[in-house]
Amino acid sequence: MTAEKKMTAQAKIREKILASVREYYNSAFAAKNKFIPGDKINYGGRFFDETELINLVDASLDFWLTTGRYCSEFESSFTDFLGVKYCSLTNSGSSANLLAFMALTSAKLGERRIRKGDEVITVAAGFPTTVAPIIQYGAVPVFVDVTLPEYNIDVSMLEKAYSKKTKAVMVAHTLGNPFDLQTVKSFCDEYNLWLIEDNCDALGSKYYINGAWKYTGTIGDIGTSSFYPPHHMTMGEGGAVYTDNPQLHRIVNSFRDWGRDCWCASGHDDTCQNRFSQQFADLPLGYDHKYVYSHFGYNLKVTEMQAAIGCAQLKKLPSFIKRRKENWQFLRGHLSDLDKYFILPEASQNSEPSWFGFLITVRESASFSRNEIVAYLEEHNIQTRMLFAGNLIKHPCFDEMRGNNELYRVVGSLDNTDRIMEQTFWLGVYPGIDEIQLNFMLTAIRDFLKIN
């Protein structure tokens, strides 16, 4: 059999396999049972069709298990969607935050690099992996409070938090609601600070700045995303780091790819045509550039199979964002008369949020607690979630650090942060929730209020 005939035969077999995958999807996943009160309403989860399964199997048939054609396709398409120049896929949103921060510690950045003992302004009311890289490296997180009902960094505290050691601001857009980027960006520009946008909960959110609407994650120096199943789109696991800065992009890729200095794509050699002709540090002249390390890095790459799922999901992302906004608005509109019981969420000024969830804070004057209404909703199979850590510095991970101003600082009070820890929860708005389920959620909330 000639090579051409062999390829044709393989293509036909592949076509049959993928047709069977489509048939399997229709049998296993396509039929959605009608919601019956008492069925579980998840706060988030996978939302997919046969395309994701077909891509997944297609990638597996190549058996190119590390980064390859689907990874390249995703990175290119994702930069087009966001309007940025560079994207680096990684294996999780947590890794994306790690890479974004570690990139700023590179000696290649000269005097702007973050060194051990330097300070990074952030908040305690969020997810721990926004803060973990700062602490693990040996920099000092400086915590400030957040505002209600936006649940984002209180920008009035930025000047008070600043010191001569401050090198960066690293904060998240809380549950899709953009923080005050205009003020934070101006503050960072004034003091020549780095700005990392943790965009893991806000993919598709927009902010109006300098006369134009821009996607969050693209306004600071580096943005990050997560593709864990409950997020706006998924690869199962997965994340991304993106930037317009070519130097930062190169450094991110170095840390992601074992710390190597070489920038050849996986499976490629000698892209620069200088593989055996350069001098690095104390190595012999001409030492193989593929094994020259400019950083102490990691292997945090994504697999082809994950990226294949992501390529299918990315094409649906605009519809996912639209549905999240609609579900959030439906809940906001139908709960508006209950503001004597709850602090209801508000979009930040100059923003168009792509919501990750619907935040509710029980008022101090209410006759019930957050724990009581959460217990009632959970008993009725409505999933709820806390606003992640609530107040991170009160968790066991801070036991050996608590009160040590050399390891972290708190500026002002964290009154709203503590209030969130005590009285805030959120409900899902992901595309898998339909109007019938939303109405069931609303009815459950009102039934609870009648009891109390």
Residues 390-403: tens digit of each pLDDT: 999 999 999 999 98
Distances (CA, A) of 169 to 85, 297, 431: 22, 23, 32
Rounded distance, CA 138 to CA 36, Å?
A: 51
Residues 6+ apart with CB under 8 A from 317: 81, 203, 204, 232, 233
Token pair for 256: 């992601």
Cβ distance 56 to 238 under 8 Å?
A: no
Cα–Cα distance, 191 to 405 (Å, whole number) = 23
Q: Residue 314: what residue type? A: L
Residue 268: what pLDDT?
79
Question: What pLDDT shows up at residue 324?
Answer: 98
Give the three-class secondary structure for 409. Answer: strand
pLDDT (0 to 100) of residue 178: 98
Residue 59 in tokens: 């990638």
Neighbours of 398 (CB within 10 A): 17
How many whole angstroms separate alpha carbon 51 and alpha carbon 70?
14
DSSP state of 198: E
- List for the chain the helix, strand, coil content (%; round to 5): 45, 15, 40
Cα–Cα distance between 354 and 203 in angstroms, integer?
A: 7
Distances (CA, A) of 78 to 81, 115, 423: 5, 31, 37
For residue 251, is it left (φ>0), alpha (ψ between -120 and 50) or beta?
A: alpha
Q: Does residue 219 sit in helix, strand or coil?
A: coil
Q: Is 326 exposed, middle or buried (0-12, 13-18, 19+ CB in 10 A)?
A: middle
Residues of the chain scoring pLDDT < 50 = none
**pLDDT at residue 168, as a whole number:** 98
Active centre residues (catalytic): 231
